[in-house]
Amino acid sequence: MTGKLVMRLALLSAVLALTAMAGQITLGFPGSGQFGDAAISPTGTYTDVMGGDHIAHIVIGGNIDASGAVAPGAWPTNIGLSLAALDAIAGVGCDVSQADPCGAPVTPIPLEVGNGSAVWWHIEAEGGDYISRSVNFVANDYIDFGSAGFYDDFAFFWVSNGNTTSYDVLGRIDVLKGGVGDFGSTGPFLFQHAFTGPEAEYTVGFGVVNVGPAGYSTFSDSALLLDTVPEPSSLLLAGPALLLAGLWKRRRA
């Protein structure tokens, strides 16, 4: 066996090893736990343009089952969610109808998370593993600049290692914060989270919360739709096959 052939076989082995180690993490339903409203969408209710299967339809209010949304004080304490962090994401409300939205005569109104729903998973992951999902935030609410204040429901993903938690906003209402506007929708889009470092235990989850001023933060039923994204297994298999074909072609040449 020549030195070149040995090197090529070693390269092929490395490619196969990487293919085996890294992969998409499966997040099935109902997950490790949930609170509020989370269920599989009825067949035909929503269309997933990415061709996957419905994981969950998470709704703030009581449109799916009798449980309804859950106030933050009743959220589990071992899943890494921080009300303070979510309130910080909520921020303040300003009037987009004004030339200077947060200036006179409008005083920015502090917003708070009133209640919500979520589903989560306890997983093990390492560098090269990833989560890939089709997500769609549906705002069944409006900003409202009347006496009730401002509403800015939002959906989010979180990942916690038990010590720290990071958040990704997947959609919200307030257009000043990049939101979809009154009764808008992001439409289905690809969300991915890649893990780094050695193997560790994590809690990951998706949620949607009601946001508004104090006393007005529990109205209407915005939603987050979750769907699978088919594992690109054909591409994973094609990589080594193409490598072999290239080596064979070069060998014959």
The whole-chain average pLDDT of the chain stands at 73
Domain identity same for 47 and 146:
yes
Task: Give the pLDDT confidence score for residue 147 in this predicted structure.
Answer: 46
CB-count burial class (<10 Å; 0-12, 13-18, 19+) for 28? exposed
Domain identity same for 80 and 174:
yes
Q: Around Cβ 250, how many Cβ atoms within 10 Å?
A: 10
Task: Give the pLDDT confidence score for residue 175 in this predicted structure.
Answer: 81
List all residues 6 or more positions away from 81 whose beta carbon is below 8 Å from its beta carbon. Answer: 75, 118, 158, 160, 165, 205, 207
Q: What is the total count of domains within the chain?
A: 2
CA-to-CA dists, residue 246 to 108, 219, 229, 235, 239, angstroms? 62, 60, 30, 16, 11
pLDDT tens digits along 63-105: 433 347 788 889 999 999 999 999 999 988 776 566 666 666 6
User: Residue 58's Cα: distance from chain center in Å?
Assistant: 11
Domain identity same for 251 and 178:
no
Domain identity same for 146 and 109:
yes
Domain identity same for 105 and 172:
yes
Task: Give the pLDDT confidence score for residue 14 in this predicted structure.
Answer: 44
Domain identity same for 16 and 85:
no
Task: Give the pLDDT confidence score for residue 139 in this predicted structure.
Answer: 85
Residue pair 65/119 in contact by the 8 Å Cβ criterion? no
Residue carrying the six token digits 């005569």 = 105
Domain identity same for 152 and 197:
yes
Task: Give the pLDDT confidence score for residue 131 in this predicted structure.
Answer: 94
Task: Give the pLDDT confidence score for residue 54 in this predicted structure.
Answer: 54
List all residues 6 or more positions away from 37 whose beta carbon is below 8 Å from its beta carbon. Answer: 58, 59, 60, 61, 62, 63, 64, 65, 67, 68, 69, 117
Tokens of 184: 């808008």
Domain identity same for 7 and 43:
no
Tokens of 249: 């072609």
Instruction: Give yes or no for a cis peptide into 105 (omega within 30° of 0).
Output: yes
Domain identity same for 145 and 212:
yes
Which residue segment(s) compose the domain that 127 sits in?
A: 24-230
Confidence of residue 35 (pLDDT cuts 50, 70, 90): confident
Task: Give the pLDDT confidence score for residue 80 in this predicted structure.
Answer: 96
Q: Taking residues 167-185, report their average pLDDT.
A: 88
Residue scoring higher pLDDT (48 or 93): 93
Domain identity same for 221 and 252:
no
Domain identity same for 197 and 118:
yes
